[in-house]
Amino acid sequence: MRRFSAVVLAAGVGKRIGFSIPKILIPLCGKPMISFVVETLKSLNPENLILVVSPQAKEKIEELFGDSVQLAVQENPCGTGNALLCALKQFPDLKGTLLVTCGDTPLLKKETFEALIDYQVLKKASAAVLTAELENPFGYGRIVRDRKKWIKKIVEEKDADSKIKKIKEINTGTYCFDLKELEKTLPLLTQNNDQKEYYLTDSLHLFSKWKKKAVPLLISDSDSALGINTLSELSRTMNLLYREIREKLMNSGVLLVDPETIYVDAEVMIGSQTILYPFTILEKGTVIGSNCQIGPFTRVSNSRIGSEVVIQNSVLNEAEISDGCSIGPYAYLRSGTLLQKKVKIGDFVEVKKTTIGFSSKVPHLSYIGDADIGENVNIGAGTITCNYDGKRKYNTIIEDGAFIGSNTNLRAPVRIGKNAVTGAGSVVIKDVEADTVVAGVPAKVIKNGS
């Protein structure tokens, strides 16, 4: 494949989608839309990779990609032709072959870009255009061919008459140009169209007038060329991406019991022989080990899960779970939760900003917040760490081997010593020494370990 530079047209505001953020930053499967396009192009090692962005998106794009891409800013959104002209003016030293694509086509593959570049070289064309055939081409520019099957012109939906609207071959918005030939056309573009914009597609019409060759490359997988301009297209694209992710997981040894009901974000990592049950959602930042059972009806976000972990009907957010733990059903593990090996968290238990030691258990109906729990601790049903006094939050410490009776309230700050016991229904407002039994409201010493 010939060396090339790439320009991504990504300055559109996405009026039809109606989101408050620039369209290219809308998340798809845990990543901004533009990330899919940029990552695919980077895998081709272009000599230059330039993103044309709006002023509103510039700062976010810089945060996202740093200096791994070059930015050109289109101050006024007046069409794709003007956007590309902005890039060439800001980077005047580009030479040779120029690949141009859109920031809202995240499904395009590396192999498709390679094929288009090779085709432009093979045909010695001024331009090669990636095209697709759609049963319902509404909204897309139509490809009008001449007698040689070259591209005569590309007509946008709003400028098309009834005859042209019957054409099913559409422009995907991805092109490969001979840069010298392209530079001759851009200053000649006009706003003589329904949207009063400078269309890059008018360059193809000029090539035809000048008897220059502009050739279409018809892609067989029309879904991969799908652009995103509406919420319906956004939803469809997300579903196609999720389908690809599911296939990769199953090929890597992860069992998806009912794939169509399972949603896994793009960069989630899962070990082999793990089973995902129906209605499981695994979101950005999640890493799961091998031989786990996750679900059904489970949502995990930005969490690290070890191996041989079982999670049922639960929600985890920014939690860290070590090997051999059992969670749920109906548990809620919030930010700052750290479970050491073989911890059990049972039904209707909420845990927040807490470390729970090896082989400890919180089996039922409890709230554990801002706590440090040792090894082999048993926390009875209905236990509450009362960590908030209306102004500040305080810590609870429960040392190794302690037994917390059902319906115990632990008013923080408080420490329960090693092997201590609290009676059912106790309200503990003072530290409990090791090997001591307390009970009552407020809890008093029943048996002193000393």
315 and 203 belong to one structural domain: no
212-261: pLDDT as tens digits: 999 999 999 989 988 898 999 999 999 999 999 999 999 999 999 999 99
Asked if residue 243 is part of any domain, the answer here is no
| Whether pLDDT at 15 is above 90 | no
- Residue 1 pLDDT level (bands cut at 50, 70, 90): low
Among residues 42, 123, 364, 418, the one annotated as catalytic is 364
- Residue 175 pLDDT level (bands cut at 50, 70, 90): very high
Mean per-residue pLDDT over the chain, rounded = 95
Percentage of the chain surpassing pLDDT 70?
A: 99
210 and 264 belong to one structural domain: no
As for how many domains the chain has, the answer is 2
Q: Which of 207, 225, 243 is the last residue of a domain?
A: 225
| Whether pLDDT at 16 is above 80 | no
pLDDT given for residue 12 in this prediction: 80
124 and 272 belong to one structural domain: no
195 and 279 belong to one structural domain: no
Q: Which of 171, 190, 225 is the last residue of a domain?
A: 225
Asked if residue 21 is part of any domain, the answer here is yes
Asked if residue 43 is part of any domain, the answer here is yes
Rounded to an integer, the average pLDDT of 337-348 is 98
328 and 395 belong to one structural domain: yes
| Whether pLDDT at 450 is above 70 | no
323: CATH: 2.160.10.10
260 and 186 belong to one structural domain: no
282 and 214 belong to one structural domain: no
- Residue 448 pLDDT level (bands cut at 50, 70, 90): confident
Asked if residue 245 is part of any domain, the answer here is no
Beta bridge partners of 285: none
Q: Which of 115, 81, 116, 96 is nearest to 181 (CA)?
A: 96
pLDDT given for residue 441 in this prediction: 95
Which is it for strands 169-178 and 127-133: parallel, antiparallel or unpaired? antiparallel
| Whether pLDDT at 20 is above 90 | no
Query: What's 24's DSSP letter?
Result: G
Rounded to an integer, the average pLDDT of 15-38 is 91
How many CA atoms, within 13 angstroms, populate the side-chain half-sphere of residue 202?
Answer: 20
Examine the residue annotation and report whether 205 is marked as an active-site residue of this protein.
no
209 and 259 belong to one structural domain: no
Asked if residue 153 is part of any domain, the answer here is yes
| Whether pLDDT at 104 is above 80 | yes
Rounded to an integer, the average pLDDT of 31-45 is 97
The parent domain of residue 132 ranges over: 4-225
d(CA 444, CA 428): 8
Residue 436 neighbours by CB under 8 Å, 6+ apart: 417, 420, 421, 445, 447, 448, 449
256 and 216 belong to one structural domain: no
Asked if residue 240 is part of any domain, the answer here is no
Name residue, tokens 């070059």: 70
53: CATH: 3.90.550.10
| Whether pLDDT at 185 is above 80 | yes
∠ CA 339-343-347 to the nearest 5 degrees?
100
Rounded to an integer, the average pLDDT of 179-194 is 91
351-401: pLDDT as tens digits: 999 999 999 999 999 999 999 999 999 999 999 999 998 899 999 999 999
Name residue, tokens 């591209």: 151
Percentage of the chain surpassing pLDDT 90?
A: 89
Rounded to an integer, the average pLDDT of 115-126 is 96
Name residue, tokens 């899962």: 270
Query: What's 12's DSSP letter?
Result: -
378-390: pLDDT as tens digits: 999 999 999 998 8
Asked if residue 377 is part of any domain, the answer here is yes
Q: How far is CA 136 from CA 12, 169, 337, in A?
A: 23, 10, 50
348 and 297 belong to one structural domain: yes
Tell me how crowded residue 314 is: count the other CB atoms within 10 A of its CB. 21
190 and 125 belong to one structural domain: yes
Asked if residue 232 is part of any domain, the answer here is no
217 and 323 belong to one structural domain: no
